[in-house]
C-alpha cells in the first residue's frame, strides 16, 4: 500500500454516473495514527487548541456502500472510544455519517450528509450544541494513499461563518 494509489475520493470516477461515489471512502480502509487538534472551548471565541493522539481503524461493509471505524481518542482528560458509521445512498449519490461516543452510549448524533467533489468531501447537518441550533460541516481533504485530513466546523448563523473546532491529521499506521 505504501505510495500506491487507492480507489476512493481522488478516483476520477468519484461522483460520476458509473463511479457514483459508492467507494469514496475506500481510501480510509485500514489502520491509522491520528494527530488531533481541538479547540478547548467551542463557539466561545476561544483560540486555545488542545493537541492529542489517537488511532482509527476502518472496515468496509455492505460491499463498500457502508463502513464503520473504531476510534481511540486520547484526550488530555482521558482516553475514550467512539465509532463513526457511514452509508451511501446510490439514488441520491450522498453519504451519511453518524458519530457514536462511548461516553454517551445512547446518543447518536445527527448525520452529516454530503459527497466528494474534486477530491474534497463536504458534509453538513443541522444539530444542537449546548442547547443552541448550529450547522455542522465536515471536510475531508489532502487525501493520499497514506494520509488524509478531516476538519469539523460549527456555524451559529446558518453557514455564513464557520468556526473550525477540530482537525485530525491521519497517517496510515502501516506506511513507511
Q: Where along the chain do its domains lie?
A: 26-172
Task: Give the pTM.
Answer: 0.88
pLDDT tens sequence for the chain (176 residues): 333 334 455 443 343 333 689 999 999 999 999 999 999 999 999 999 999 999 999 999 999 899 999 999 999 999 999 999 999 999 999 999 999 999 999 999 899 999 999 999 999 999 999 999 999 999 999 999 999 999 999 999 999 999 999 999 999 997 64
CATH superfamily of 26-172: Calycin beta-barrel core domain (2.40.128.20)
What pLDDT does 109 receive? 87
Dihedral, 176, 53, 26, 154 alpha carbons, nearest 10: -140
Cβ–Cβ under 8 Å, residues 69 and 84:
yes
Amino acid at each position: 500500500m505504501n505510495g500506491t494509489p487507492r480507489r476512493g475520493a481522488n478516483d476520477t470516477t468519484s461522483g460520476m454516473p458509473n463511479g457514483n461515489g459508492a467507494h469514496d471512502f475506500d481510501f480510509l480502509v485500514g489502520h491509522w495514527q491520528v494527530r488531533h487538534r481541538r479547540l478547548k472551548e467551542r463557539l466561545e471565541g476561544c483560540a486555545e487548541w488542545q493537541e492529542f493522539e489517537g488511532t482509527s481503524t476502518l472496515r468496509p461493509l455492505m460491499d463498500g456502500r457502508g463502513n464503520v471505524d473504531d476510534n481511540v481518542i486520547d484526550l488530555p482528560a482521558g482516553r475514550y472510544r467512539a465509532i463513526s458509521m457511514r452509508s451511501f445512498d446510490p439514488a441520491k449519490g450522498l453519504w451519511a455519517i453518524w458519530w457514536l461516543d462511548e461516553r454517551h452510549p445512547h446518543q447518536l448524533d445527527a448525520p452529516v450528509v454530503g459527497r466528494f467533489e474534486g477530491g474534497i468531501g463536504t458534509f453538513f447537518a443541522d444539530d444542537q450544541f449546548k442547547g443552541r441550533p448550529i450547522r455542522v460541516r465536515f471536510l475531508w481533504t489532502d487525501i493520499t494513499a497514506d494520509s488524509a485530513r478531516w476538519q469539523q466546523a460549527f456555524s451559529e448563523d446558518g453557514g455564513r461563518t464557520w468556526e473550525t473546532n477540530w482537525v485530525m491529521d491521519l497517517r496510515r499506521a502501516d506506511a513507511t
